[in-house]
Structure 1
Amino acid sequence: MQLRSHGRIYTMGLWCVLLAYDAALALTLIYFLFLAPLAYIYMLLLPIPVLAPLYLFRRLYPPPDSRERWWLYIRLIGITVLLLLRAGIDLWLPIRI
């Protein structure tokens, strides 16, 4: 079977190859433009469900002394920094490879 396009004759096999290439390109663009940024946004928002219960717990049950309170702050800051570092590495690593 042959198809005519812009004055040229293409075989059906070539059309299938071109359509497969276009489909792969479209899926790649959809992934990189829409799905990948959503994953990175989600990763940046990850500290919220971690920190919110800890914040509420701290409001309901305050620690008895300042030394314990500072230890809680250090842990919260450490968790947040580690999560943001992980998100930064995931953003930076594919660019470097």
Structure 2
Amino acid sequence: MQTETKPKVLNRLNRIEGQVRGIARMVEEDRYCVEVLTQLQAVRAALLRVESEVLRDHLDHCVMGAMTGDDLSDRKAKATELIDLLGRASR
């Protein structure tokens, strides 16, 4: 991961961790289900944003480096890795 991306991702993950702890407290306190569901949706959206940021970093750094490099096996490996990743994400 690129050095400028890592702190942003870690910061977002720490906030998400706090959100999840807050949701656990809501459940313990028997809060209204719709309130809990709303917070769960917010966490899911936040995780998708982190996933997007990590994917963008991977494409900009790892994949682009392989595609512009001379190592054919590395290019094929990165392409296969991306196809597998996107296949899992669509399930």
Structure number with bigger Rg: 1
Q: Which has the higher helix share?
A: 2
Q: Which has the higher contact order (CA 8 A, sep 6+)?
A: 2
Q: TM-score with structure 1 length normalisation?
A: 0.45
Q: TM-score with structure 2 length normalisation?
A: 0.48
More strand by share: 1
